[in-house]
Amino acid sequence: MPTRVLLLADDERIVNLFRSAEPEVCAVSSMPAAVARLHEPWSVVAALYPLTRGDSIAWLKESQDHCPHAGRLLVCASPPSVETVLRAVNVAQVSHVLVAPQSPEQVRLAVLQTQAAAEKARAAALIPFAEGLTELTDTDNATRAGHALRVQHYAWAIGQAMQLPDHLLAALRLACLLHDLGKVAAPDDESQQHPLYGAYWALRCGLAKEVQEAIRYHHERWDGTGVPEGLKGSDIPLLARLIAMADAYDRWTTELKLPPAQLHAQLHGSAGKAMDPQIVQALFALREPHDVFAVLEQRDDLPVLAPVVQQALELLMRDDFDWRQVAEVLSRDERLAAHLLRLANSAITGFRRRITNLPTALRVLGARPVCNLLLTLSVRPLLRVSAEYDLWRHSLGCALLARAIAQRTRQVEPDEAFAAGLLHDIGKNLLWRYFPEGSRRAHEITQRQRCPLFLAERLIFGTTHAEVGGWLLERWRLPSPLPEAVATHHDPPPDAAPLVWHIYWANALWHQAQGTPTDRHHWCPLPVALAWQKTLSDVSTLVAEADQQVREVERLMGV
Query: Is the confidence at residue 272, as pLDDT, over 90?
Result: yes
pLDDT at residue 543, as a whole number: 87
Query: Is the confidence at residue 517, as pLDDT, over 70?
Result: no
pLDDT at residue 348, as a whole number: 66
pLDDT at residue 347, as a whole number: 64
Q: Residue 267's pLDDT band (boundaries 50, 70, 90)? A: very high
Peptide bond into 452 cis (omega under 30): no
pLDDT at residue 14, as a whole number: 95
The mean pLDDT of the chain is: 87
How far is it, in rounded angstroms, from Cα 370 to Cα 359? 11
Query: Is the confidence at residue 21, as pLDDT, over 70?
Result: yes
Segment 483-487 mean pLDDT: 96
Write the pLDDT tens digit of every residue in 241-255: 999 999 999 999 988
CATH 3.40.50.2300 range(s) for the chain read 5-102
pLDDT at residue 521, as a whole number: 47
Provide DSSP, 200-269. HHHHHTT--HHHHHHHHTTT--TTS--SSS---GGGS-HHHHHHHHHHHHHIIIIIS---HHHHHHHHHH
pLDDT at residue 369, as a whole number: 81
Write the pLDDT tens digit of every residue in 317-340: 887 888 888 888 888 888 777 877
How far is it, in rounded angstroms, from Cα 243 to Cα 37? 38
How far is it, in rounded angstroms, from Cα 448 to Cα 445? 5
Segment 195-203 mean pLDDT: 92
Write the pLDDT tens digit of every residue in 114-168: 998 988 888 778 888 888 777 666 655 555 678 999 999 999 999 999 999 988 9
**Rg of the chain on CA atoms, in Å:** 29
Closest to 196 measured CA to CA, from 210, 176, 174, 212: 212
Is 131:149 a contact under the CB 8 Å cutoff? yes
pLDDT at residue 125, as a whole number: 82
Q: Which CATH class is domain 5-102?
A: alpha beta
pLDDT at residue 69, as a whole number: 86
pLDDT at residue 187, as a whole number: 64
Is 158:137 a contact under the CB 8 Å cutoff? no
The fraction of the chain above a pLDDT of 90, given in percent, is 56
How far is it, in rounded angstroms, from Cα 362 to Cα 264? 49
pLDDT at residue 120, as a whole number: 83
pLDDT at residue 238, as a whole number: 98
CATH 1.10.3210.10 range(s) for the chain read 121-287, 307-556
- For 157, 184, 384, 477, the CA distances from 126, given in Å and listed in that order, are 20, 19, 39, 48
Alpha-helical regions (H) of 287-425: 292-298, 307-316, 323-330, 334-344, 358-365, 367-379, 391-409, 414-423
Write the pLDDT tens digit of every residue in 470-483: 999 999 988 889 99
3-class SS at 64? helix
Write the pLDDT tens digit of every residue in 56-97: 999 999 999 998 889 999 999 999 999 999 999 999 999 999
Is 72:95 a contact under the CB 8 Å cutoff? yes
Query: Is the confidence at residue 354, as pLDDT, over 90?
Result: no
Query: Is the confidence at residue 558, as pLDDT, over 70?
Result: no
CATH number of the domain at 121-287, please? 1.10.3210.10
Q: Under CATH, which architecture does the 307-556 domain have? A: Orthogonal Bundle (1.10)
> What's phi and psi for 29, nearest 5 deg?
-110, -5
Segment 304-310 mean pLDDT: 87
The fraction of the chain above a pLDDT of 70, given in percent, is 91
